[in-house]
């Protein structure tokens, strides 16, 4: 038996892509509510107000807001030990600046957590998953302003106190390292610079982005300290989009280029949040990119005091890095890269690499020596609803099975892996494209890319398979 007793099997979602009810129960608009739909080839748009004739898929999403009892019952039936979800900040503070929280919003999550506990499921809550109140973007240009630190800590204070006996596991920011890339400007930091209309091609200001990231690091450290004061049993983690890159060849120039990409893309943020200080290579990067980080007195000490308890990450794919500009490129989560001739890719061009997960787990554990959790993994695919409301998703089972085997091998290698929550366990809206048709779930949600459908839930073949995996603690993968 490789998976330890008490291993946290479950699934993951995020409010902005799953919850819907975007203007119900006193919720304010969030940054995600301003995103139109797109496709693999047509980028989403960011609009400052809702424009006629455009569709905003996060508004309804999977309508968990009205289906939570049914959905949580399905999770219970699969045997989930943990459910990763996020709280919509603008459901608690509609504009982000109010003195008092929105009681109706707080009550909604009370009901969700109670329902989870009825099913014996532990919530794992992302405090900010790719959304913040849109008002904060309008007023402060999002995390570019240090004002957001206190507003975020106020929000944390409210939810930590309210749910201190219902929630033990917290993540401060989803994929915080997206802020090291231009795409993360709006997605993770709520920064909307003059002239930006296209989600995939934002007007980028690295100075604002890296300063914004510093504000998030400070906010995260403050939240960790505060959370531990409120309940010393809280386990508070970071969450990184881990995008493993391999040198395309053994040409030392490729190896060096790859090392640099790994440092800034993957390690920069984790190092701050786990080790409590900026890594040595940060200074050179700032210098080369003309970035001046404004630090206040006490910031360095704070980063040290607010180190996270565990490291969580998403893992979907890997890419190659090369100095040769003529090689064929390929897409990926947040960034693309050079195509790897040994790997196959999903319909969205994300290369499937289970061995890379074992490699990544070993690299991460060697670096940080704190418990690890894989809080996103999975295959986005077109599913077909067949007669009798069946979905035969053997491709998804294959993907997950191979990744679970590699996690098991990593545990045998000695890695302290404590949980696994595959992404979009119940179908939800894609973050990159806004499509409903890019599905990850064990449960099919009957809605199309425009929110047409009954929103009925149907179990896919992977549902029964995953239930057996959990019941056997990862032994039965057939
Ligand atoms: C991660 C995000 O980057 O990948 C999720 O944390 C996202 O929010 C997931 O949905 C899958 O990406 P996509 O673009 O297929 O939805």
- Which secondary-structure segment (H or E) carries 314? strand 310-314
In a domain, 254, yes or no: no
Q: Where on the phi/psi map is residue 314: left (φ > 0), alpha (ψ -120 to 50), or beta?
A: beta
- Residue 98: active-site member: no
Q: Phi then psi for 212, rounded to 5 degrees?
A: -60, -40
Q: What is the CATH number of the domain that holds 23?
A: 3.20.20.80
Encode the chain (478 residues) as per-residue pLDDT tens digits. 689 999 999 999 999 999 999 999 999 999 999 999 999 889 999 999 999 999 999 999 999 999 999 999 999 999 999 999 999 999 999 999 999 999 999 999 999 999 999 999 999 999 999 999 999 999 999 999 999 999 999 999 999 999 999 999 999 999 999 999 999 999 999 999 999 999 999 999 999 999 999 999 999 999 999 999 999 999 999 999 999 999 999 999 999 999 999 999 999 999 999 999 999 999 999 999 999 999 999 999 999 999 999 999 999 999 999 999 999 999 888 888 999 999 999 999 999 999 999 999 999 999 999 999 999 999 999 999 999 999 999 999 999 999 999 999 999 999 999 999 999 999 999 999 999 999 999 999 999 999 999 999 999 999 999 999 999 999 999 9
Q: Within a 10 A sphere around the Cβ of 166, how many other Cβ atoms?
A: 16
DSSP 375: E
In a domain, 336, yes or no: no
Report the distance separating Cα 157 and Cα 370, nearest Å. Answer: 25
Distance (Å) from CA 464 to ligand 1 centroid: 24
| Residue of 364, 357, 331, 337 whose CA lies nearest to 433 | 331
Cβ-Cβ contacts under 8 Å for 419 (sequence gap 6 or more): 7, 8, 9, 10, 81, 82, 124, 373, 374, 375
pTM of the full structure: 0.98
- Residue 100: active-site member: no
In a domain, 65, yes or no: yes
Widest CA span in the chain: 64
Ligand 1 pocket list (CB less than 6 A):
14, 17, 130, 174-175, 241, 314, 333, 376, 380, 423, 430-432, 438
Cβ-Cβ contacts under 8 Å for 194 (sequence gap 6 or more): 203
CA angle (240, 246, 252) in 5-degree steps: 125
Domain count, the chain: 1
Report the distance separating Cα 467 and Cα 439, nearest Å. Answer: 19
| Residue of 22, 222, 227, 226 whose CA lies nearest to 131 | 22
Distance (Å) from CA 149 to ligand 1 centroid: 25
Report the distance separating Cα 130 and Cα 123, nearest Å. Answer: 19
Which residue from 396, 423, 424, 426 has its CB within 8 A of the most atoms of ligand 1, so it is best to mutate? 423
Q: 376, 386, 475, 478: which one is catalytic?
A: 376
Per-residue DSSP letters for 410-434? HHHHT--EEEE--BTSB----TTT-
DSSP 34: G
Report the distance separating Cα 405 and Cα 243, nearest Å. Answer: 20
Cβ-Cβ contacts under 8 Å for 453 (sequence gap 6 or more): 445, 446, 447
Q: Phi then psi for 262, rounded to 5 degrees?
A: -65, -40
Cα dist. 241→261, 370, 375 in Å?
Answer: 13, 17, 10
In a domain, 243, yes or no: yes
Q: 175, 229, 402, 478: which one is catalytic?
A: 175
Q: Which residues lie across from 169 on neighbouring strands?
A: 124, 235
Q: Where are the alpha helices (DSSP H) in 82-132?
A: 89-92, 103-118
In a domain, 132, yes or no: yes
In a domain, 253, yes or no: no
Distance (Å) from CA 430 to ligand 1 centroid: 6
In a domain, 477, yes or no: no
Q: Which residues lie across from 239 on neighbouring strands?
A: 312
Q: Is 292 exposed, middle or buried (0-12, 13-18, 19+ CB in 10 A)?
A: exposed
DSSP 22: T
Domain that holds residue 289: 8-247+263-319+351-472
Distance (Å) from CA 349 to ligand 1 centroid: 14
Q: Are 311 and 372 in contact (CB under 8 A)?
A: yes
Which residue from 376, 426, 437 has its CB within 8 A of the most atoms of ligand 1, so it is best to mutate? 376
In a domain, 114, yes or no: yes
């Amino acid at each position: 038996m490789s998976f330890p007793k008490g291993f946290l099997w479950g699934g993951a979602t995020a409010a902005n892509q799953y919850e819907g009810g975007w203007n119900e129960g006193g919720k304010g608009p969030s940054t995600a509510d301003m995103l139109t739909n797109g496709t693999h080839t047509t980028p989403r748009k960011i609009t400052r107000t809702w424009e006629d004739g455009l569709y905003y898929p996060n508004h309804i999403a999977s309508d968990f807001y009205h289906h939570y009892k049914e959905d949580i019952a399905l999770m219970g039936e699969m045997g989930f030990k943990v459910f990763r979800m996020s709280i919509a900040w603008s459901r608690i503070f509609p504009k982000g600046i109010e003195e008092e929280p929105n009681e109706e919003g707080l009550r909604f999550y009370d009901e969700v957590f109670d329902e989870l506990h009825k099913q014996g499921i532990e919530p794992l809550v992302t405090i900010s998953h790719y959304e913040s109140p849109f008002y904060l973007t309008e007023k402060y240009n999002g995390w570019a302003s240090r004002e957001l630190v206190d507003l975020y800590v106020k929000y944390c204070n409210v939810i930590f106190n309210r749910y201190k006996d219902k929630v033990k596991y917290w993540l401060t920011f989803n994929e915080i390292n997206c802020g090291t890339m231009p795409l993360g400007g709006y997605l993770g930091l709520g920064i909307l610079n003059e002239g930006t209309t296209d989600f995939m091609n934002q007007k980028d200001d690295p100075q604002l982005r890296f300063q914004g990231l510093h504000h998030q690091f400070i906010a995260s450290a403050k939240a960790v300290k505060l959370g531990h004061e409120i309940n010393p049993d809280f386990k508070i983690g970071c969450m990184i989009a881990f995008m493993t890159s391999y040198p395309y060849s053994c040409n030392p120039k490729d190896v060096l280029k790859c090392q640099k990409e790994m440092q800034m893309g993957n390690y920069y943020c984790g190092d701050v949040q786990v080790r409590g200080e900026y890594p040595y290579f940060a200074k050179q990067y700032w210098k080369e990119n003309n970035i001046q980080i404004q630090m206040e007195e006490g910031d360095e000490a704070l980063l040290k005091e607010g180190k996270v308890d565990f490291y969580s990450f998403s893992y979907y794919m890997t890419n190659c890095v090369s100095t040769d500009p003529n090689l064929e490129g390929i897409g990926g989560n947040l960034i693309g890269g050079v195509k790897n001739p040994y790997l196959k890719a999903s319909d969205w061009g994300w290369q499937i690499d289970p061995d890379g997960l074992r490699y990544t787990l070993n690299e991460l554990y060697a670096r940080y020596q704190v418990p690890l959790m894989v809080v996103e993994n999975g295959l986005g695919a077109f599913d077909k609803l067949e007669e009798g409301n069946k979905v035969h998703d053997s491709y998804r089972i294959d993907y997950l099975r191979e990744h679970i085997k590699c996690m098991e091998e990593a545990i045998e290698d000695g890695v302290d892996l404590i949980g696994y929550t595959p992404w979009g366990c119940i179908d939800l809206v894609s973050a990159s494209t806004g499509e409903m048709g890019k599905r990850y779930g064990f449960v099919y949600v009957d809605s199309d890319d425009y929110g047409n459908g009954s929103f009925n839930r149907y179990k896919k073949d992977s549902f029964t398979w995953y239930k057996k995996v959990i019941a056997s603690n990862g032994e039965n993968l057939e």
